[in-house]
Amino acid sequence: MAKAASAAAKDLAAAGVGGVHLAWADNNGIPRSRVVPIAGLADAAVRGVGATTLFAVFDSHDMITYAHAGLSTPSGDHRLVPVVERLRRLTGQPAFAWVPVWQRTVADEPSPYCPRAVLQRQVDEAARRGLEFRAGYEMEFTVTPGHPGPAYSPHALIGLDGFVAAILHDFAGNGLQIGQLHAEYGPAQLELSLAATDPLSAADDQLLARQTIHAAAHAHGLRVSFSPLPDLTGAGNGWHLHTSVRSNGKNLLAGPGQEGAAYIGGLLRDLPALTAITAPSVASAMRQRPGYYTGAYGFWGVENREAPLRYVLGSELLGQGHANVELKASDASANPYLALAVVLASAMAGIEDGVVPPEPISQDPGTWSEAEREARGVRPLPANHAEKDEALRASPRVSGVLGEELLGAFRAVRASDAAWAAERTPEEILDAHRWRY
């Protein structure tokens, strides 16, 4: 690894790169990084770079909570070790490169607080079962100053031509594949989709995409918000997570057959607890409203965009291998590695247990009466911190994925955020989250 890092550093230095962002996401979905000089990359690949373990208990407002017993003092250190094969020069920031990291202990073991290691364990478990997952994100964000609409119109993007062109150029330069980009439904809102890939790369790509978009916006005098709800009047930003699984090269969701149905059933069974990880913030709860394509109720549907679990069909045009499941109750406040890890675990458990999902729903249950929803077994998803925490604690399949130490840190951070928000107005809460991600 040191040899590869040394060779990469030499090439990058010759191209004018002076420093490398060693990047990760914390328990609030917020990207964090340490910059090392390019000459130090090879050493970092062997020894890592020191960082406090307390990053695991930073809340969304950069306050440190000591409520988790495992991190109850300011003492402790771990090492950030770059994943050299994922090293990228930042096209929009040519003096810098970017690389995700493993978090390891000083004894060179995986840190219990490393989210990338949590996802790696699930990928390894899938391989042991003969399963191969694919994942990709749709990323919504708002631009300031933004486009005036109309929604989905090419006219809306004309004023943002330079910014959009920079995104297309810089994504290609950074090795990121865009499926499509467009003006979204909300005012000043855009959306782009990242190509599906293996889960670890999908999480890495999501972080790198954020860095790329922020830099392109800054270069054009703009600012972007990835917050789940930038303001009280808009639809908010979801980061819809698409996943599929293959066995012996066959997409199990094509059809779907018994195993594909169990995949959906497993996700639906654990959906309340999943959303505690995939849409965990106070702003996430404020965004979760019927009629906003956010997934306010627990159900699944075939191509139903109001469903938190939307089954996307394969077809003759796209091929049966295109079939996947979209999780709509997902946003930028989720750590992408943890979000993917719990989704994979629930899907695998569903397949193993042969969970049979109920019939899909094609309507919007938000328009039904409570009696109609009760008759169909459709219940609201957790809508505040207390409900999300209860759902997480009640599901060992989901909470167990994180491990005792990381789960404790995650819950402490969520509780700290909730206590902070309890003393603020809705406007103050959204103002504080607008530029965090």
Q: Is the pLDDT of residue 242 over 80?
A: yes
Find the mean pLDDT for residues 363-370. Answer: 94
Find the mean pLDDT for residues 264-292. Answer: 95
Q: How confident is the model at residue 8 (pLDDT cuts 50, 70, 90)?
A: very high
Q: Is the pLDDT of residue 417 over 80?
A: yes
Residue 220 pLDDT: 98
Q: What's the rounded Cα separation, in Å, for the pair 103 and 115? A: 8
Residue 320 pLDDT: 77
- Any residues with CB less than 8 A from the CB of 7 and at least 6 apart, and which? none
Beta bridge partners of residue 251, listed in sequence order: 246
- CA dihedral (360, 364, 366, 368) in degrees, to 10, reads -80
| CA distances in angstroms from 43 to 79, 101, 235, 412, listed in the order given | 12, 14, 46, 34
The identity of residue 335, as a single letter, is N
Q: Is the peptide bond before 82 cis (omega within 30 degrees of 0)?
A: no
pLDDT in tens, 83-121: 999 999 999 999 999 999 999 999 999 999 999 999 999
Longest CA span, the chain: 68
The identity of residue 269, as a single letter, is R
pLDDT in tens, 25-67: 999 999 999 999 999 999 999 999 999 999 999 999 999 999 9
Q: What's the rounded Cα separation, in Å, for the pair 143 and 147? A: 8
Please name the residue that has the structure tokens 């965990």.
280
Specify the length of the chain in residues.
437
Both tokens assigned to 333: 């406040």
Q: What's the rounded Cα separation, in Å, for the pair 82 and 18? A: 16
Q: Is the pLDDT of residue 319 over 90?
A: no
Pairing of β 189-194 and β 19-25: unpaired
Find the mean pLDDT for residues 11-30. Answer: 97
Q: What's the rounded Cα separation, in Å, for the pair 43 and 47? A: 6
Q: Is the pLDDT of residue 316 over 90?
A: no
Q: Is the peptide bond before 256 cis (omega within 30 degrees of 0)?
A: yes
The answer, as to whether pTM is greater than 0.85, is yes
CA proximity to 202, closest of 64, 309, 66, 343: 343
Beta bridge partners of residue 384, listed in sequence order: none
Instruction: Provide the sign of the torsion angle of the four alpha carbons 299, 303, 306, 310, taken in this order.
Output: positive
- Burial of residue 77 (CB within 10 Å: 0-12, 13-18, 19+) is exposed
Q: Is the pLDDT of residue 1 over 80?
A: no
Residue 422 pLDDT: 97
Q: What's the rounded Cα separation, in Å, for the pair 378 and 145? A: 40
Residue 337 pLDDT: 98
Find the mean pLDDT for residues 268-279. Answer: 98
DSSP string, 249-302: TEETTTTT-HHHHHHHHHHHHTHHHHHHHHS-SHHHHHH--TTTTS--BS-EEE
Q: Calculate the CA 365 to chain-centre distance.
A: 26
Going from the N-terminus, what domains does the chain have, and what CATH number goes with each? 2-111 (3.10.20.70), 120-433 (3.30.590.10)
Identify how many contiguous H helices and E strands the chain contains and give both numbers: 15, 15
**Three-state SS letters, 340-358:** HHHHHHHHHHHHHHCCCCC
Instruction: Give start and end residues of each alpha helix (H) in 15-159.
Output: 41-47, 115-128, 154-157
Please name the residue that has the structure tokens 């917050």.
227
Q: How confident is the model at residue 268 (pLDDT cuts 50, 70, 90)?
A: very high
**DSSP one-letter code for 321:** G
Both tokens assigned to 185: 């439904």
Candidate from 186-195, 272-281, 312-321 with smallest mean pLDDT: 312-321
Both tokens assigned to 428: 């103050």
Candidate from 144-148, 155-159, 220-224, 352-356 with smallest mean pLDDT: 144-148
Find the mean pLDDT for residues 189-205. Answer: 98
Give the rounded percent of residues in the chain with a pLDDT score beyond 70: 100
Please name the residue that has the structure tokens 């999480």.
203
Q: Which helix (H) or strand (E) holds 72?
A: none
Rounded (10°) angle between helices 199-219 and 336-353: 150
Both tokens assigned to 157: 């993007």
SS3 state at 25 = strand
Q: How confident is the model at residue 233 (pLDDT cuts 50, 70, 90)?
A: confident
Residue 351 pLDDT: 98
Residue 360 pLDDT: 97
Residue 67 pLDDT: 98
Pairing of β 189-194 and β 178-183: antiparallel
Residue 317 pLDDT: 79
SS3 state at 325 = strand
Both tokens assigned to 49: 């770079």
